[in-house]
Amino acid sequence: MAQNNRETGSRFEEQVADFLKKQRFRILERNFRCREGEIDIIARDGAYLVFIEVKYRRTKAAGSALEAIDARKAARIRRTARFYLYCKRYPEETPCRFDAAGIDGGQITYIKNAFS
């Protein structure tokens, strides 16, 4: 089952990556993992380095996809982003943003600056 969920997640992350490319984002990494956590997509949007969380829900029975990004999840993404910046030797003043993409059914909802 976990593999099936991973395949499903990858398919929807691919949809979001295609959506971002059409918005002129440049995808730098997919599924960056470290002991702090995972970031689904890391991209460039102009001067911004953007860390993007992708969530999918087949139905809204358990709430919308974006509602699944709670404060704990946001904190984990921030820690992972900090580790990424350190590992890749980005300067401290690099402008960063945390965006979220929710897919409910087949509809993508994209939020810039979803959390800080």
The confidence score (pLDDT) of residue 1 equals 41
Task: Give the length of the chain.
Answer: 116
Q: E strands, 15-95, where?
A: 26-34, 37-45, 48-57
Which of 81, 76, 74 is CA-nearest to residue 95?
81
* β partners of residue 70: none
- 13-58 pLDDT tens trace: 999 999 999 999 999 999 999 999 999 999 999 999 999 999 988 7
Residues facing 108 on adjacent strands: 103
Domain boundaries of the chain, sorted by first residue: 2-95+105-115
> How far from the centroid of its chain's Cα atoms is residue 37's Cα?
12
The count of other CB atoms within 10 Å of the CB of residue 16 is 27
d(CA 11, CA 9): 5
Fold of 2-95+105-115: Trna Endonuclease; Chain: A, domain 1 (3.40.1350)
| pTM, two decimal places | 0.90
Q: pLDDT band for position 4 (50/70/90)?
A: low
Residue 22's identity, in one-letter code, is K
**Sequence letter at residue 33:** R
Q: What share of the chain is helix, strand, coil (3-state, %, to 5)?
A: 35, 40, 25
